[in-house]
Amino acid sequence: MKKSSSVVLFNDKQIRRIWDDEAELWYFSIIDIIGILTASPRPRKYWHALKTRLKREGSELSLKVGQLKMKSPDGKQYMTDVMNTEMILRLIQSIPSPRAEPFKLWLAKVGYARIEETEDPEAAFNRAIKTYLQKGYSEEWVSQRLKSIIVRKELTDEWRARGVKEGLEYAILTDEIMKAWSDKSVKVYKRFKRLKKESLRDNMTNLELVLNMLAEVSTTTISKKQRPKNFVENKSMARKGGLVARQARLAIEKQTGESVIDASKLSDGLQSKDDELAARQAWIDSLPTRKATAQEKRASRKSMRDVELGNYTLIKAGDEKALNKMLGIDE
């Protein structure tokens, strides 16, 4: 299992994290996040109190804590309590600190938006368009990306009708299609583009998207015609569909003398058009780093008592950009 360490900054504070290449997950130092979201002068003690409370309540979170070696300020490696992104988001909801409230509201907003989208699927498309344009993607690229979502949905509907199980089997068939047309598995393709948690399709060029769509729509068409009866036959359909796009790819490369598979990470060249979020983030980043006042220390001690007594606070404000930056969700 290959792991790589890195540090991400949030309000000029360091958060240690480790990337698990096999599981494709970030693991974050719980102590570092506790320290930032509570301003506690003793985040280790705060975490101990919170962990004790979670265990007493029978929370699943207490069972999801792992330990990995991380570099400490003294330069040595020590075993440190860690959680992946999903668990960190759940942990934030258990922290009764004013600094955690913006992230709790962000989670509530995201959850509410997803519920609305189940009732009105068009809302999901509108959100996708807005998000891509805010990130700086061109309208032409966004149009292709939305078409690819529709093509993918038609493919998964066909798989479902043929008895393919969502999750692992979908992933295996997707990998088969990708290898057939691009000569790269999904994981290898992502490494080629230097991606971690980022979406592979969101970092494809227009031509790569078109060829991937050709592979998927070909798979759907062949499957409907040949009606595979089991997973092995579905895997064969996936390869056949991918080979259709491979022929197109090779023909293009022969004419241009260049590889269609682009190593560039498309998101690196984007300039966000969301001025409001940029301004808010600039304000957050400009906050001065200073020692906690006596009043803040008292508030921190009270916050620790809140953990022990279970005095949870209400949600007040939100900043999704700050959360994304801290957890490396939108890199």
- pLDDT tens across 122-150, in order? 677 777 788 888 888 888 888 899 899 99
DSSP code of residue 271: -
Helices (H), the chain: 30-38, 43-57, 85-92, 101-119, 121-135, 139-161, 168-182, 186-192, 206-226, 231-256, 275-286, 294-309, 320-327
- Residue 13's DSSP bridge partners are 10
Do residues 203 and 266 touch, judged by C-beta distance below 8 A?
yes
Do residues 261 and 185 touch, judged by C-beta distance below 8 A?
no
SS3 readout for 28-68: EEHHHHHHHHHCCCCHHHHHHHHHHHHHHHCCHHHHCCEEE
The bridge status of strand 25-29 relative to strand 77-84 is antiparallel
Domain boundaries, the chain: 1-118+317-331, 137-269
Average pLDDT of 51-80? 86
d(CA 68, CA 162): 42
Whole-prediction pTM? 0.60
- pLDDT tens across 235-279, in order? 999 999 999 999 999 999 999 999 999 888 877 766 555 454 555
Q: What's the pLDDT score for residue 321?
A: 53
DSSP code of residue 330: T
